[in-house]
Structure 1
Amino acid sequence: MSEKSVVQTDEPAEYTITFAPQRNNDNFSTLAQLSYKASNTVEMTDLSVDNSSPQTEHRQRYLEPTLGASTLKSDDMLKTSSVPSRTPNLSNAWEFAGWGSTSFLELHSPSKSDRSSSGTLLGQWRATSISGNDLIASVFYTIAVVIATSGKYAPISLLIVSLIIYPFKNILNEVGTTLPLNGGAYNCLLNTAPKWFAAIAAAVSILDYIATAVVSAATATAYAGSYLNLGKTVIFWMTIGVLCVFAGIVLLGIRDSATVALAIFLFHNCVLSILMVAGVVRWISIGNGVLSANWNENPSENVASEIFYGVCIGLLGITGYEHSSDYIEDQKPGVFPKTMRNMWVNVSLINAPLTLITLAIMPLGVINEHPEDIISVLGEYAAGSWLRILVTVDAAIVLGAGVLTGIIGVNGLVERMASDQILPQFFLIRNSITGTKHFIILGFLVCCVVLYAVLDGDVTSLAGVFAVSFLSVLCMFAIGNILLKYKRHRLYRPIKVSTGVTMFGFASLFITLLGNIVIDPSLAKYFFIYFAAIYGVMMIMLNRIWILKTTFFYLDKIVVLHKYKIGDIIIRMIKSIKQQPVIFFTNTDDIHILNKVILYIKNNELTGTVKFIHLYSNIDEIPPRLESNHRILDELYPKIQIDLMFIQCPFNPETVDAISSQLDIPKSLMFISCPGENFPYRIGEFHGLRTIML
């Protein structure tokens, strides 16, 4: 094995440096000789390693001056570390990651084309339309479920939903504008909490996308099947067919177009406007007789509970609200808050008023007979069969867009998570023909089909699972906002929300989440089964080194298996996992801060190499104790190779891009401490750089 590193020293002397262990036996030897030259750059080569020691070795560093060299006592460089071995029969010397290095890096000039956008940034209406199609499409499956739950009080329940979501849009605004990075709640928690906790947000977000696609496909086929008088079995297979068709579209590399999304958004709003106007005209022509009959039918014994359960289900009518933050980097500056405002206005002007119109012109008995296609039947009651046909076509189009949004959304999220080493790396494999990541799409399709089959195509049950996953995502946003205030309060915030508003938003959504589970406890069963499966995969990925080391420990006890070299296979697997380095940009030499960085990386990242990078303008500005403290930490953590690199460049997005390209390290594995409000750049301009400490 041969490894090279570069060491910087202060004086142009000539030294021989030997890194060697204290010997408990003769089985382990490490010899590294270093020749220091006048260029102040030293190349160190590990000449020989014979690794068969049965126990952890003591290690020493000696610095021995040659003739004519400056005098330096070897004791000044002495470091001894001794830990009893867990594996007395198999060597654990392989856990030593190697000595870190100190070097000056000459950075290649970044090309301006590297920073150019791959496409045009979205304005407020195109940005609104992408997630807005999910939002306003929810009217097709929300109104009937809310009326079935709260009856005549359904309009009141949906009005309360609009009031609850109003302060919550500002919570989303604060999170999105403070950390304007794709990934939604997962990204927020990744920058404010341990990785295992961010994985919870990722798991519920994936479930949310699965439910989005399944409910959209099931509702679209239910509307078409109702009009064509198709049987339940035919509708069941039609839904699976719709999911497969849209998965195939994405597999072929055909992506969602913001212009097409805007056209669908405008068409859907026009159809709903026609429906509402026709409904009001019909209401005026028939008077309040139907509304009065519905109001007096089945007097309620507990008005408050019916309204509350209606609110719980009614929050399903704002699904899509959480998706805008998943593509915030593709939006023009300042567009995200406008997008949130537009969606809130849209849902407030449609859901509660349209529900009231439904109760005013349709008897409750008829409404309850059509839970899967209530809006198209409303069109027929309002203006005849032509409007029912128009609404059915509209439902097929806009709900189809919802399926496509779910598939594309999960594709981006899973890709980000695989890059963050939370999901398996095979998800990043691209199809050689279409360029798409087919394992993500096919895996998502399988999850959708299984969920639909398990619930036997029941749209009401699917909507319940959708509500639980959607509300869980919003709760994670609220938690992320609270952590953002506490742990990253120095970040620049264009929009600020008080802690009281955040706590109110979280409490409201958490209570309604529990309400949905109380309404139908079986929904929680399906939700938690899916959540446990997805989160379990993530936990295995995050803890796979621990799993392999535990396996290695028990393998050590079974001597008869040693001849099969299973231990060597495990060691190779661990080294392969840990070969990806990570970077921390430091502007300080405070050892307690640098130590906190190492502790964070030990607890959250699967790596054996940490690179501290210090950017400077003049060499006199380099913190005086940075190099010596780096060496202390390198001695302190033998299982992590800690390198120190100096780069004479300003700290800006272009420099970070160039470092990422030159060192081949993704920006998702590049960390900084939290910048203050006077920092000249916004964290979103770095496109993935992660804040890991205050």
Structure 2
Amino acid sequence: MLDPVERSHPLQDSPRKRSRTSKSMEPPESPTNSWIAIEPPASGPRPPQAQDPYTPPPTNPPPSLYPPTFGEAQFDIVLRRQRTRPIGGGGLKLTAIPSRFLNLSNDFEFSGWGTVSHLDLAPDDLGRGEETLQGIRRSRVLGQFMASALAGNDILGGVFYTLPAVVGVASVYSPISLLVAALTLFLWRPVMEELGSALPISGAPYTYLLNVSSKSLALVGAALLLLDFAATAVVSAATAATYLAGEVSLPFPPFVGAILVLVIFTLISLSGLKESARIAFAVLALHGVTMMVLLTASAVHWGRHGNSRLKDNWIAGQASSAPRIATQIFYGVCIGMLGLTGFECTPAYTASIKQGRYPLVLRNLHLSAMFLNVITMLFVFAVLPLDVIVNGANLLSVLAEVAAGRWLRTWAVVDAVVVLCGGVLTGILSACELLERLAHDRVLPAAFLKSLPLTGSPHVAIISFVVFSGVLYASSGASLAIMSKMFSLVWLTVMMLFPLSALLLKFNRGRLPRTSVTSLSVIFFTIAVALAISVGNIVIDPTTVGYFAIYFIAIIILFSACQNKGLFVRLFYWAYDQSPVMQTWSWTRPWSERLAKLMRRMRRQPVCILCKTDEINHLFQMVLYVRQNEETACLKLVHFYDEDEGLPSEMEANWKILDEAFPEMTVDLILVKSTFSPVNVAALAHRLQIPRSLMFMSCPGPNFLHSVADFGTRIICL
């Protein structure tokens, strides 16, 4: 049970619990400097013992002539604060600071006094904690090939819409551009490996930024991720519809087919179908077999007809000057990054990958994408004439027909539709996981966590995301070219978040254990490369940045409004307070009380800080983080302690200072006599009914025995 304890003042405790500050600042016992004489006014007679300022005072000086010691002064201050603090907590911590509300009450801005409690974890709590920890460990079931399949469908399926886009800007230099684009991932792989070893948690890069920086910067990452998932779904659906329109006569335009694909997979998602590793592996296996047959047929055709086609295309597509060649290759690299989209999805399920397999997954995806994109583009120029390549949209289906016949073209189209539709489903499900995570972190309303009773699918998140994707596609004029260019820019921006997270990880969480370390030069060079390629995409089509900026700003405003909804309600309350005329209207009089109740209700969710030390500066920084990043009026300071070592000497005294320093929050101190471990933290979360995503801790050191992924908490300080 929670056992409330209120002590009269900390100085009456045992010597072990006395304040270190008090002992260090007490005056020495030497009779020569124990007291300092106070000089009386000049008009009065001077006492004989005070004529020489260095003469020691008498042994028992009159108390009125000398100030109290620091210990005596602290004793009086603590007693005065104890008299003003309610014994059982509660009451409002009102202050004398003037209010910004001139006509209405500001009582909603204050909370009650906190209490100190001792807590013993019950066997039921420990059982639930062990069950939670075992569930986390059981989820790490993906080997390198199954884990590669989840993101592999996006990466390897990008060949269908990447090749035509690259040919449009790089012409015959497209294979070179694709090779250079694929080589850039050698910069990102060590950066992502370090992040994955230090923070093996899902939801990256949003969760990376959430643990190494502020919540505001993490929301920027979440906005970019949401835009990336929407572009993935739209481009995959539009490309699938385009491939169908190129093979059969559809009774509607291709953009209608893209919308139908989105609607169909919305219904599939609402039916409760979840993408599993086995399904993804089966789809990827089909795609792999199809591409191997296509490449084999193309190689045989190339061997039979020789290099004449390749030479003719090279001569016809040559640029007029060396700068023009460099420009075309660079533009091809910028657009060729589309062929690597999906690589950013791998950290999103890091927690499900077996230990030590994450670097292998990155290697598999990287090398397979590099091989498939470059070799396929080379076969395109060796088999097809240049005018067909430049003007054709379904390059792979045309390549299949020329290399082997109509049967292979049909097979390639079926494979394209299946793989691309799998990309649509991946975008929807990934976005739903992100939206649910944001709802757990109290950024989005709790309605995004609601699910249908029969299928268990998060219908609010699914419908909201698909509507957003449809608006995104419609605003581009249903243009696949514009969406592909914007997709490339969004992907580059998301990929830029990884070196930025690594940089913040080194600076803000340098103590965090990790098995892989990347040099600062690699991180800065990766950021520079990402910036250069992003600028290249903007130069190719300046309108692309317009679409990107509009939707990015719109999502940021939406997330910021949801994150700071209490601030907007307070602004309405202030506007009502500043309008005496509105307060005279009968239909607006209940507004003040309703707004105040709304603000109290939004701040009711408790937040927990797991504190290791009693140092006031450290505790203050952690409480300040909660104040700046979370809307709550209920804060729990929890300290796990060992009975042999006892409690830190100033924990309770400094807690009372924090409780007084933050009148807008009720700061409770909970002392748990147990070890600090993932099982006990999960048991505590069950006991206090606080989600582990709202439990914060400081950065563990290199000798920490547990993985931060097992705790499920947020790291908020060094």
Q: Is the 8 A contact 2:171 2:317 kept in 1?
A: no
Correspondence for 1:116: 134
**Cα distance in 1, alignment partners of residues 165 and 78 from structure 2:** 81
Q: Secondary structure at the match of 1:457?
A: coil
Once the two structures are TM-superposed, the CA of residue 533 in structure 1 deviates from its matched residue by 1.7
TM-score (ref. length: structure 2): 0.85
Q: Is the 8 A contact 1:106 1:647 kept in 2?
A: yes
Change in 2 beyond 3 A, CA 1:577/1:357: same
Tell me if 1:567 matches 2:565.
no
1:498-523: CA deviations, max 9, x gaps? Answer: 11111111111121112111111111
Letter in 2 for 1:668: S
Q: Is the 8 A contact 1:423 1:537 kept in 2?
A: no
TM-score (ref. length: structure 1): 0.88
Tell me if 1:374 matches 2:395.
yes
Once the two structures are TM-superposed, the CA of residue 558 in structure 1 deviates from its matched residue by 1.4
Once the two structures are TM-superposed, the CA of residue 120 in structure 1 deviates from its matched residue by 6.5
* Greater strand share, structure number: 1
Pick one of 329, 336, 340 that aligns with 1:314.
Answer: 336
Pick one of 79, 83, 97 that aligns with 1:83.
Answer: 97
Letter in 1 for 2:424: V
Q: Secondary structure at the match of 2:387?
A: helix
Range moving further from structure 2, 105-114 or 287-296: 105-114
Q: Secondary structure at the match of 1:444?
A: helix
Range moving further from structure 2, 529-538 or 71-80: 71-80
Correspondence for 1:328: 350
Letter in 2 for 1:392: V
**Cα distance in 2, alignment partners of residues 88 and 449 from structure 1:** 47
Correspondence for 1:53: none
Tell me if 1:410 matches 2:431.
yes
**Cα distance in 2, alignment partners of residues 439 and 659 from structure 1:** 31
**Cα distance in 1, alignment partners of residues 467 and 452 from structure 2:** 18
Correspondence for 2:54: none
Once the two structures are TM-superposed, the CA of residue 298 in structure 1 deviates from its matched residue by 4.3
Q: Secondary structure at the match of 1:349?
A: helix
Correspondence for 1:635: 660
Structure 2: segments with no counterpart, 5+ residues:
11-76, 86-93
Tell me if 1:344 matches 2:362.
no
Tell me if 1:649 matches 2:674.
yes
Correspondence for 2:285: 266
Q: Is the 8 A contact 2:108 2:599 kept in 1?
A: no
Q: Is the 8 A contact 1:471 1:509 kept in 2?
A: yes
**Cα distance in 1, alignment partners of residues 473 and 102 from structure 2:** 52
1:10-33: CA deviations, max 9, x gaps? Answer: 799xxxxxxxxxxxxxxxxxxxxx
**What is the root-mean-square deviation of aligned Cα atoms in Å?**
2.0
Task: Map 1:275-286; keep pairs closer than 5 Å.
Answer: 275-286=294-305
Once the two structures are TM-superposed, the CA of residue 435 in structure 1 deviates from its matched residue by 1.5
**Cα distance in 1, alignment partners of residues 480 and 188 from structure 2:** 27
Correspondence for 2:240: 220
Pick one of 450, 463, 486 that aligns with 1:429.
Answer: 450
Correspondence for 1:543: 564
Q: Is the 8 A contact 1:192 1:487 kept in 2?
A: yes
Once the two structures are TM-superposed, the CA of residue 77 in structure 1 deviates from its matched residue by 4.9
**Cα distance in 2, alignment partners of residues 418 and 518 from structure 1:** 37
1:318-350: CA deviations, max 9, x gaps? Answer: 001010111111111112111101001101111
Letter in 2 for 1:7: V
Correspondence for 2:109: 95
Task: Map 1:455-466; keep pairs closer than 5 Å.
Answer: 455-466=476-487
Correspondence for 1:30: none
**Cα distance in 2, alignment partners of residues 207 and 311 from structure 1:** 22
1:331-389: CA deviations, max 9, x gaps? Answer: 11112111101001101111111111111111121012222x11111111211111111
Once the two structures are TM-superposed, the CA of residue 439 in structure 1 deviates from its matched residue by 0.6
Q: Secondary structure at the match of 2:639?
A: strand
Structure 1: segments with no counterpart, 5+ residues:
13-70
Task: Map 1:389-404; keep pairs closer than 5 Å.
Answer: 389-404=410-425
Q: Secondary structure at the match of 2:515?
A: coil
**Cα distance in 2, alignment partners of residues 75 and 609 from structure 1:** 21
Q: Secondary structure at the match of 1:274?
A: helix
**Cα distance in 2, alignment partners of residues 75 and 394 from structure 1:** 74
Correspondence for 2:715: 691
Change in 2 beyond 3 A, CA 1:10/1:230: same
- Aligned pairs, how many? 631
Once the two structures are TM-superposed, the CA of residue 644 in structure 1 deviates from its matched residue by 0.4
Correspondence for 1:177: 197
Q: Is the 8 A contact 2:194 2:515 kept in 1?
A: yes
Once the two structures are TM-superposed, the CA of residue 209 in structure 1 deviates from its matched residue by 0.5
Q: Secondary structure at the match of 1:477?
A: helix
**Cα distance in 1, alignment partners of residues 78 and 455 from structure 2:** 62
Correspondence for 2:66: none
Q: Is the 8 A contact 2:9 2:79 kept in 1?
A: no
Correspondence for 2:73: none
**Cα distance in 2, alignment partners of residues 518 and 569 from structure 1:** 52
Range moving further from structure 2, 180-189 or 563-572: 563-572
Letter in 2 for 1:105: L
1:435-472: CA deviations, max 9, x gaps? Answer: 11101000111112222222233221111111111111
Tell me if 1:9 matches 2:33.
no
Task: Map 1:502-541; keep pairs closer than 5 Å.
Answer: 502-541=523-562
Tell me if 1:603 matches 2:628.
yes
**Cα distance in 2, alignment partners of residues 495 and 408 from structure 1:** 30
